[in-house]
Every structure is written in C-alpha cells, then in structure tokens.
Structure 1
Amino acid sequence: MHDCHSENRRLEKVSNSALISGMDRPTAQQTAQGQASSAAAAANPPIQPVPQVAGNNDNNVDVNFDSGIEVERHHITLLLLEKKLYLAPIGKYPQRILDVGTGTGIWAFNVAEETPSAVVTGTDISPVSQDGTLAQHPNFIHINDDAQEEWYFRSDHFDFVHMRYLYGAIDDWGKLFRQAYTHLRPGGWVESLELDIEIHSENPKFENDPDHIFKKWWQLFLECGQKTGWPWDIAREGRQKRYMRDAGFRELVTKSWKLPIGGWSEDKKLKEIGVHNGEFIWKSIDAFTIHPIGEVLGWSREQLATLVNKMLKALMEPKTFPYYTVHMVYGRKPKRVLATTEGTQG
C-alpha cells in the first residue's frame, strides 16, 4: 500500500507537470480559450475541504481526512442528489443503518449526525480516520470487515443498507446483495449508487470514434476486471437492478444522472458539478490508474504517465464535452417474506 502511494506521488509529478507547463504558456491560438477558462474558474472556486450537508455547518467535529479526494467526491455526490445523502424512503426514525465499504466514513458520519435516532455502522477493510475522530461519534461505529466475506450481523437487523462507488472492489455482486437482503429487516431498504467509468462525449465526433482515448481507457479497466475477477462494469446494462431483483428485493427504483467533467454544461447545476468533478478527476486520476492498469496489467511508470497525459489532454480539449453516467437503484425487502434460500425468492 505504501509503495503504491509513493508511486502515485512520483507519477503525479510526471503526468501533471507536462500538461500544466503547456497550459501556463498558451499559444496565440489558445489565448481566447484560456481567457474563457480563467473566467470560468474564477466564477467557480474550488470546493472547500470540509464537507457540508444541507444546513449542517456547525463544524464542531474535525472532518479533515487523510485525503481530500473522497471528500470532494462526497461533495459532488451531494450536489448531484440535491444535498440528500440518500434517496430511498427509509422513514424519519431508522434505528440501524449499515454503510458497506464506508471508506473514510464521511457518508456514514454525515448520516449519523443527521439521524440521531440511528446507530450507523460503517464497514471497510481499512480504518476510517487516523486521528480517531469519527470513531468517537456517539452513534457511529466502524468495523474493519471485508464485505465480500460472510457478514456476522444478525439476520433481519438493519433498516437501511447503503453502498456506493464499490466498482472494481467486489468479486460477487450477487452475494453482496443477497447478504444485504438477509441482514435487512422485512420492510427495510437497500440503496446502491455506482459510476459507469466509461467516459462519453456529447460530441458525436469523439463519441463515435472507436479509437478515441475514452474508449481505450474503458477497455483497459474492463480487462483489469476480467483478470482480477473484480468487475468494473456493475453500473452497466442494468446489473445493479438485476442483482437486487434476484436477491429478492422489490419496489425497485432506478435513477441515472449525467456527471459532466469540466464546466462546459449550459445548465447551472451541471456546470457547478462539472467544475468540481473536473478538479476531482485532476487530483485522483493517477491513483485511479496505478493499481488497475499499472499493477494488474503491468504497465511501467512511463507508460502510465503517457496514458494519463493523453487522457487529461482529451478531457480538456475544446468541444469534447466529456461526462460520466451515475446509476442508482434502491429497493425494499418485502414486509412479508416467503420461504427463501439466502434471501432469494423462489
């Protein structure tokens, strides 16, 4: 893990320096474009390192994590969901909430603050905070646990099971949703939010080019998933919904959003989201690339730097209009459960 972080820092210097130096010295043809970009940046300042949730800005708890990357992604997701932490109709007073793959714990922490009636449990294979701040919150519990293994919780225990951004980290999605079903009480809800990591373009010139870097990028991650057994395509072709239905969930609701990269959208909300997402991509693309492509596919540091530079330049190219899609599915465990096997209705 530490070797990976060191490699990340070295790669960041290689990949970003070349692109930044090119941006600092625009050609005459780029001057107008650079002025427009500067104006857009001035109108859309970077996000702050402290997450805020719908009027909750007491700042009475230190939530500066080891990395600001997940904080930024959390902020982007809040903007996308219009400052809601979840969309499943779980009711006003849930008692037990589980956040699977909690990461830094930022989502679970915010839910614990917003929902004092609930004990919020976050599971992850890594600790949530080196300073232990989150672990001290009175209704937040962190458990070091691998969601791919058997869950030790009681059956029919939770009111709400939440999971997001687990692409590339789960080997058996069917098992994951079956376990969520087993450990939810009858009438409880599950919610899954995942990113389709294939980058699309609003411009048909780029979108329909099979040799464009956007297409090649996705194919590399697809190959990584095939090699490791941890697929990156959970958000594609209705897989989330299908796995949930197969596990026994009903009242399924599917929602999808376009997630722009950069401030190109004419829609005010999407423009703001795009500016933040562009900053997030800039800061995270190296770490996002090193493990799957560098370690799994065996690419050298120089090859990775070239790939990252090519991707960043494509993202910043005028009239590319790049975006991701985000897919959410939430569903309910029936209140009256028929005889099942591991939560799968017959």
Structure 2
Amino acid sequence: MYTHVPKCTPSQKPSAPTDRDNSGSGAGSMADEPPYIEAFGHKYHHSGRIFVPFDEKEQQRMEVQHKLYRQCLNGALTATRIPLNVKNILDLGSGTGLWPLEMAARYPQANILGIDISRIQKTTAVPPNVKFAIDNVENPWPISAGSIDFLHIRGLAGGVTDWPSLFKQAYEKLKPGGLLEWSEQAIQIFDFDGKFGDAELCPEFLKLWRDLGKENNIDFTPSPNGPVWLVEAGFENIAQRTEILPLGNWAQDESLRNRQTLMNSISNEHFENHCGLLFTNCGWTKEKFDEVAPTFFSDIRAESQKPYTML
C-alpha cells in the first residue's frame, strides 16, 4: 500500500468536481455493456486493453478482495487518515462500487465519484453523495484540476498501460495538500521459510505470466516502481506499507488465518479470472493452459511449503 501527499502549490485554485456521469446515481446491468471479448469462459471489455474481466465471477472476486483489504486495515476503509471535513473523494477502478458506498456512510458530507470502465456498480441504495462514471481511468477524468481532497486507487493492475501518466493526472486533480492512496497486490508468491522473500515459489509459471504481460504491455505487479513514478509526478512524503497474505494452511495468528481464508478463496475459485485474455492474446488455448496450471497449484499446496504473497 502507498499513501502520498502531493506538493503544496498555492497557485492552484481548487474548484468543485464536475460530473461527466454516464450512469446517473447508479449503473445499469451487464446487459447494457457493449460487445465483449470472451476468453477462458470470462467476459472482458471489448477494447481488449483491460486484462481483468467484468463478469459475475469476477464481481464475486472483487467482493472477496474488498473483505481482504478491510481485514488488512483492521476494519478500516483506508490506511490514510482522512480529515473529517473531507469534501471531494475520487475512486479509480470502483468495480462493483463497494468502497465508495461504504465511504459514503462514513463521510456523508463528502461528494464521492467512482470511475470504472465497466457498468457493474450496484444500483440499489446508492446514497445521493455517490456517483459513478463509466470510462477508462487512463482517459481524462471528468473533474476539475485542483478539486480532489482524497484520491483512492486500488487493484488497477491489469487495466493500466501508462502508470506515470495516471499519477501525473492524479497530481493535477488533487488539491494542494491533497492525499492519494494506492494499493496493489503483487503477482509474486514466496515461501515463508524465515528468509522472507528470498525463495519465490512457482518461479516458472510466474515468469511466464510476467513475460506474457510484457508482450501485452501490461504489468500485473507495478508497485515496485511506484515510488519513482510518484516522485516524478510531484508527490511528496511517500510512505509504503506492506502486508503478508498467506495461502495454504500454515498461518497461526488469527488475523493471518482470516487473510489466508480469503486468499485461498481467491486463488482456488478465481485464479483464471486474470489469465484468460492475457494467455489467449499470446496464442494459448484453454487446453494448453490447463496443462500448466495444475503444477502451479501443486507447488503452493504442498504441505512442506508456507506460501504467501504481499499487498
């Protein structure tokens, strides 16, 4: 996780965000989506630029992932301490909209805008201070420069090709002294053998995944480059926070066990979600993929291993 404070530039005059809202107070159903790309039985955005699907199974994963983030934050919605009088909040990659909706209950005075490329946000019980816009987050955002108090980015890996430009826009849209929080889960798996991060599990499969990502100009583990991109964009006071996410059945601490349960659900039930379009674009069939995937699971489920990844 990253929490950032941009430079104070008093010459910027904050203004209220405008709302290029394609969805009203809530979004429609998947039936409203344009034609989609199907790969490994999952539905991906028709542009072919987003390697994360939007179908029902992926929406289920998003909700499990939301629970995992809250578990890592001890029930909180952010790692950042947000002023109680915060006025304008922007959430990039809102998914089903859980985070904006829960933030609205905690900050009823704040105007919260969520942007996502797919129309999968919840449509019932949407409070009046939450709106959703359907757009690619790499496009110009429908808000004024210097208008945002808090900018939240989470789980965009697989959907962003130009991170430096994204953070430059983030800097432009934030008020002087505004706050940004960015969180990504690493596509790396290590063995908790006391060396902490020295022994990567499933190196062949993970290298394959990373190599295919390079072929498609997409990085599923962008966080190591984050501090450089943020400094280049103008941000200051950059703080990094890392959380362990266990897999398998080895965690002893109650908090780690809770995380482990959620991570096992994600890996066991939703592993293919982020593989379909990536592998298909590189000429892989589902049958060929199914020959490789079992070795990945056998490695992380071996009794001798204590696998974990990081947030």
* TM class by smaller structure: 0.7 to 0.9
Q: Which has the higher helix share?
A: 1
Counterpart Cα distance in 1 of 2:39 and 2:67 = 23
Q: Percent identity?
A: 23
Counterpart Cα distance in 1 of 2:229 and 2:216 = 20
Ranked by relative contact order (alpha carbons within 8 Å, sequence separation 6 or more), the top structure is: 2
Shift of residue 91 of structure 1?
0.8
Aligned AA (1:133): T
Residue 96 (structure 1) aligned to one of 64, 73, 88? 88
Aligned length: 264
Aligned AA (2:308): Y
Counterpart Cα distance in 1 of 2:217 and 2:86 = 35
Query: Quick check: 1:165 aligned with 2:147?
Result: no
Counterpart Cα distance in 1 of 2:186 and 2:169 = 23
Residue equivalent to 1:289: 275
Gaps of 5+ in 1: 10-63, 327-346
Could you tell me whether the CA contact under 8 Å between 2:68 and 2:259 is conserved in 1?
yes
Aligned AA (2:208): L
Aligned AA (1:107): W
Residue equivalent to 1:199: 189
Residue 265 (structure 1) aligned to one of 251, 260, 263? 251
**Matched residue SS, 1:74:** helix
- 1:160-189 per-position Cα deviation (integer Å, ceiling 9, x unaligned): 010011112111111111101100111110
Residue equivalent to 2:260: 274
Residue 307 (structure 1) aligned to one of 278, 282, 292? 292
Counterpart Cα distance in 2 of 1:171 and 1:196 = 16
Could you tell me whether the CA contact under 8 Å between 1:181 and 1:249 is conserved in 2?
yes
**Matched residue SS, 1:277:** helix
- 1:258-313 per-position Cα deviation (integer Å, ceiling 9, x unaligned): 111133112221112112211121111021221212x2222111111122222222
Which deviates further from its counterpart, 296-305 or 171-180?
296-305
**Matched residue SS, 1:104:** coil
Could you tell me whether the CA contact under 8 Å between 2:186 and 2:310 is conserved in 1?
yes
Shift of residue 73 of structure 1?
0.7
When residues 297 and 117 of structure 1 are mapped into structure 2, their CA distance, relative to the original with a 3 A threshold, is: same
Could you tell me whether the CA contact under 8 Å between 2:58 and 2:273 is conserved in 1?
no
Gaps of 5+ in 2: 1-34, 44-55
Could you tell me whether the CA contact under 8 Å between 2:147 and 2:173 is conserved in 1?
yes
Could you tell me whether the CA contact under 8 Å between 1:103 and 1:126 is conserved in 2?
yes
**Matched residue SS, 1:162:** strand
Shift of residue 3 of structure 1?
5.6
TM-score (norm 2): 0.78
Counterpart Cα distance in 1 of 2:131 and 2:57 = 17
Counterpart Cα distance in 2 of 1:119 and 1:7 = 37
- 1:10-43 per-position Cα deviation (integer Å, ceiling 9, x unaligned): xxxxxxxxxxxxxxxxxxxxxxxxxxxxxxxxxx
1:97-246 equivalences under 5 Å are 97-129=89-121, 132-133=123-124, 136-203=126-193, 214-236=202-224, 239-246=225-232
Shift of residue 105 of structure 1?
1.1
